[in-house]
């Protein structure tokens, strides 16, 4: 079986069109926000966004996702604008991908495949690499299954149980076997980690969390002066970094910088990254970093809180840190946000503004938990 490939490794930058669909149960401003984020993801993956297309539809088209007429329009633009790649904001079935690729004659992927691609490019440790492979296989397997049920529905019956079906079965079995062995290896790593974390239990653990690109790694660096990778890209780091932070002569905490949270994070990834997220789950205190210069920051706060809920840790003590105040030009914004979040700290991690407040608040939080 050929290993599934989701990489966008092209010799030069791929030119892409992003496509979103507004249906009656989705708001158009929401789809616009999603497409902006998809653009950032595409750039992180090394693609150049040439155009964004939003289509209104009463319902999704089972064969083409967008309508066939719209697909034909896009085919013309692909030729005009020399496009290499179409990226859909929502998950496509393998039938839809196949139909679109046949009609438009260009590579078609969806948001999940794009995110998996970025995760694959940014995983550094063995554990992160195994987790990414696991997520890729699980994504691939679900699409094989879907294609399979599509085939049996469309052409099923006598005479169709040919080599195609056997090949699918073989692929599925091989994928399952590989997933089982990955899981075994990941369990072993998790067990080692857990023993190590137990040993380190005398320390107080603080996890920096937040929406991707909020400034988590910058804050980590500013507080600890460590050389963590800082990039203006979504998911610049996948692996957790842990550093010591001295709060006062006799108080030291372990500070960890984790993968950023994001809207529509594929469930397969959340499952695969459980061990990476374990740093967050095990933390005594969370620093929730927010980029208040981003116009969607209220929503980002909600996405992060939702994921904390999914991880079952909504009750942990959280310090809300409003970052990038240096980027706020409008004098009316800060007072408004302050009145909505009276407990929040306002800082600039990049300009080293008010970092002493963060340390003081951490000390206070630690002392008050006794
Ligand atoms: P992370 O994804 O949350 O780890 O975000 P990063 O720490 O990698 O930062 C993302 C981008 O935001 C980088 O380009 C940083 O330089 C920038 N950034 C972080 N903090 C600040 C800040 O306080 N002010 C400004 N203007 N930019 C910041
Ligand atoms: Mg980071």
Considering only CA atoms, which residue is closest to atom 9 of ligand 1?
215
Q: Ligand 1 pocket, 230 CB below 6 A? A: yes
What are the angstrom distances between the C-alpha of 326 and each of 271, 299, 347?
36, 21, 8
CATH value of 15-115 in 2.130.10.10, 3.40.50.300, 3.40.50.1240, 3.40.50.11060:
3.40.50.11060
- Which is more confident, 302 or 276? 302
Average pLDDT over residues 97-125: 87
Between 260 and 70, residue with greater pLDDT: 70
CB atoms closer than 10 angstroms to residue 290: 23
Check residue 93 and report its DSSP letter: P
* Cα distance between residue 290 and residue 286, in whole Å: 13
Q: 166-193, pLDDT tens digit by residue?
A: 677 778 888 899 999 999 998 898 888 7
Ligand nearest to the CA of residue 238, numbered in listed order: 2
**Which pTM was predicted?**
0.76
How far is residue 311's CA from residue 304's CA, in Å, rounded to a whole number? 11
**Nearest atom in ligand 1 to 323's CA:** 23
**Of the listed ranges 16-25, 36-45, 234-243, the one predicted with least confidence:** 234-243
- Exposure string of 342-354, with b = 16+ CB inside 10 Å and e = fewer, is eebbbbbbbeebb
Mean pLDDT for 231-253 is 75
Average pLDDT estimate for 242-259: 84
Q: What percent of the chain is predicted at pLDDT more than 70?
A: 81
| pLDDT value of position 56 | 93
| CA 256 – ligand 2 centroid, Å | 11
Atom of ligand 1 minimally distant from the CA of 212? 2
Output DSSP code: residue 237: -
Domain 203-368 belongs to what topology? Rossmann fold (3.40.50)
Q: Is the pLDDT of residue 292 over 90?
A: yes
* Mean pLDDT taken over the chain: 83
Q: Name which residue sits closest to atom 25 of ligand 1, judged by CA.
A: 324
CB-CB contact of 86 with 16 (8 Å): yes
Q: If pLDDT is split at 50, 70 and 90, which confidence band does 293 have?
A: very high
Q: Is 81 exposed, middle or buried (0-12, 13-18, 19+ CB in 10 A)?
A: exposed
Where in the sequence of the chain do the CATH 3.40.50.11060 domains occur?
Answer: 15-115
Mean pLDDT of 336-355: 96
Q: Where in the chain is the domain with CATH 3.40.50.300?
A: 203-368
């Amino acid at each position: 079986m050929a290993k599934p490939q989701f990489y966008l490794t092209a010799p030069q930058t791929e030119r892409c069109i992003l496509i979103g669909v507004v249906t009656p149960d989705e708001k158009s401003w929401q789809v616009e926000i999603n497409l902006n984020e998809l653009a950032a993801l595409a750039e992180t993956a090394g693609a150049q966004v040439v155009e964004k297309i939003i289509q209104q539809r009463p319902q999704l088209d089972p064969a083409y996702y967008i309508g066939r007429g719209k697909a034909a329009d896009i085919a013309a633009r692909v030729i005009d604008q020399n496009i290499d790649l179409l990226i859909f904001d929502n998950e496509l079935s393998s039938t839809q991908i196949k139909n679109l690729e046949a009609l438009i004659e260009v590579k078609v992927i969806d948001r999940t495949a794009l995110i998996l691609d970025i995760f694959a490019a940014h995983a550094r440790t063995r554990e992160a690499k195994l987790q990414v492979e696991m997520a890729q296989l699980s994504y691939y397997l679900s699409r094989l299954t879907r294609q399979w049920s599509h085939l049996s529905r469309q052409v099923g019956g006598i005479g169709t149980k040919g080599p195609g079906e056997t090949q699918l079965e073989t692929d599925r079995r091989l994928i399952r076997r590989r997933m089982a062995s990955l899981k075994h290896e990941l369990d072993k790593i998790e067990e080692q980690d857990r023993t190590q974390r137990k040993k380190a239990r005398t320390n107080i653990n603080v996890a920096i969390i937040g929406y991707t690109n909020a400034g988590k790694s910058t804050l980590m660096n500013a507080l600890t002066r460590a050389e963590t990778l800082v990039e203006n890209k979504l998911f610049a780091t996948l692996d957790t970094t842990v550093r010591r932070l001295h709060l006062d002569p006799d108080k030291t905490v372990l500070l960890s910088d984790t993968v950023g949270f994001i809207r529509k994070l594929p469930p397969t990834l959340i499952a695969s990254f459980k061990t990476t997220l374990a740093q967050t789950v095990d933390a005594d205190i969370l620093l929730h970093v927010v980029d208040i210069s981003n116009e969607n920051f209220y929503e980002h706060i909600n996405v992060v809180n939702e994921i904390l809920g999914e991880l079952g840790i909504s009750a942990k003590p959280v310090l809300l840190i409003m970052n990038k105040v240096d980027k706020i030009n409008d004098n009316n914004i800060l007072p408004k946000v302050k009145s909505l979040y009276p407990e929040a700290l306002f800082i600039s991690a990049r300009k080293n503004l008010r970092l002493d407040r963060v340390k003081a608040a951490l000390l206070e939080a630690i002392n008050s938990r006794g």
